[in-house]
Amino acid sequence: MRYLSLFSGIEAATVAWKPLGWTCVAVSEIEKFPCALLAHYYPNVPNLGDVTQITLEQIKALGRIDLVVFGSPCQDLSVAGKRKGLDGERSGLFFAAIRIIRWAKQFCQCRFALWENVPGAFSSNEGADFAAVVEQMAGCRNISTPKNGWGSEGAAVGYYGLLEWAVLDAQWFGVTQRRKRVFALIDFGNWWDRSPILLEPESMRGNPTQSGREKKDNSTIVAKCLTRRGAGGLNQDPETANFVVHGTQDPIVNDDLAHCLGRNRGRENAIYACSATKLNATTINTITKSYGSGGADLETKPLLLTTTDTAATLTKGFGDRGVDADQIANGNCAIQANKVRRLTPLECERLQGFPDNYTNIPGASDTPRYSALGNSMAVPVMRWIGERIAQVLGEAV
Q: Which pLDDT score is estimated for 258?
A: 52
Note the pLDDT of residue 340: 67
Q: Of 76-85, 182-191, 228-237, 354-363, give the lowest mean pLDDT range.
A: 228-237
pLDDT of the residue at 372: 97
Q: Which residue among 74, 108, 225, 260 is the active-site one?
A: 74
Sorting pLDDT into bands at 50, 70 and 90, what band is 339? low
Residues 185, 165 contacting (CB under 8 angstroms):
yes
**Mean per-residue pLDDT, 84-104:** 78
Helix (H, G, I), strand (E, B) or coil at 306: coil
Check residue 385 and give its pLDDT: 98
- For the cut 70, the answer to whether the pLDDT of residue 66 exceeds it is yes
pTM beyond 0.75: the answer is no
What pLDDT score was predicted for residue 69? 98
Which pLDDT value is given to residue 72? 81
d(CA 108, CA 126): 36
Top-ranked range on mean pLDDT: pick from 71-80, 226-235, 260-269, 296-305: 71-80
227 or 90, higher pLDDT: 90
Per-residue confidence band for 12, with pLDDT thresholds at 50, 70 and 90: very high
- DSSP-assigned states of every residue in 180-233: EEEEEEEE-S-GGGS--SS---GGG-S-HHHHTSPPPP--EEEEE-----SSS-
pLDDT tier at 273, thresholds 50, 70, 90 = very low
Share of residues in the chain with pLDDT > 90 (%)? 51
What is the DSSP track for 6-70? ES-TT-HHHHHHGGGT-EEEEB---SHHHHHHHHHH-TTS-B---GGG--HHHHHHT----EEEE
The answer to whether residue 108 is catalytic is no
For residue 125, the model assigns a pLDDT of 84
Angle between helices 366-375 and 345-352 (to 10 degrees): 20
pLDDT level of residue 214 (50, 70, 90 thresholds): low
Q: Kindly list the structural domains of the chain, giving each domain's residue range(s) and its CATH number in brackets, ordered by start.
A: 2-211+375-392 (3.40.50.150), 220-342 (no CATH)
3-state secondary structure of 297: coil
Tally of CB atoms within 10 A around 204: 7
Buried b (16+ CB within 10 A) or exposed e, 329-338: bbbbbbbeee
Strand stretches in 290-378, DSSP E: 298-305
- Give the pLDDT mean for 254-269: 46
Q: If you average pLDDT over every residue of the chain, what do you get?
A: 74
| Cα–Cα distances in angstroms (integers) from residue 177 to residues 28, 142, 225, 385, in the given order | 27, 37, 16, 18
pLDDT band at 120, cuts 50/70/90? Answer: confident
Lowest mean pLDDT among 77-91, 207-221, 225-239, 331-345: 225-239
Give the start-end residues of each E strand in 243-281.
246-247, 253-254, 258-259, 269-274
pLDDT at 64: 98
Q: What is the pLDDT of residue 143?
A: 87
| Residues in a beta bridge with 372 | none
Please tell me the number of Cα atoms within 13 Å of 24 on its side-chain side. Answer: 27
Q: What pLDDT is recorded for position 338? A: 54
- Asked if residues 37 and 82 have their Cβ atoms less than 8 Å apart, the reply is no
Mean pLDDT of 272-294: 37
Cα–Cα distance between 77 and 85 in angstroms, integer?
5
Q: Is the pLDDT of residue 262 over 60?
A: no
Amino acid identity of 266?
A: G
What amino acid occupies position 124? Answer: S
- Average pLDDT, integer, range 126-140: 91
- Phi first, then psi: give them for residue 331, nearest 5 degrees: -75, 170
Q: Measured between alpha carbons, how far is 329 from 311 in angstroms, rounded to an integer?
A: 10
Q: Are strands 23-26 and 2-6 parallel, antiparallel or unpaired?
A: parallel
Query: Is 163's pLDDT higher than 80?
Result: yes
Which has more confidence, 119 or 248? Answer: 119
DSSP state of 102: H
- The band of 50, judged by pLDDT with boundaries at 50, 70 and 90, is very high
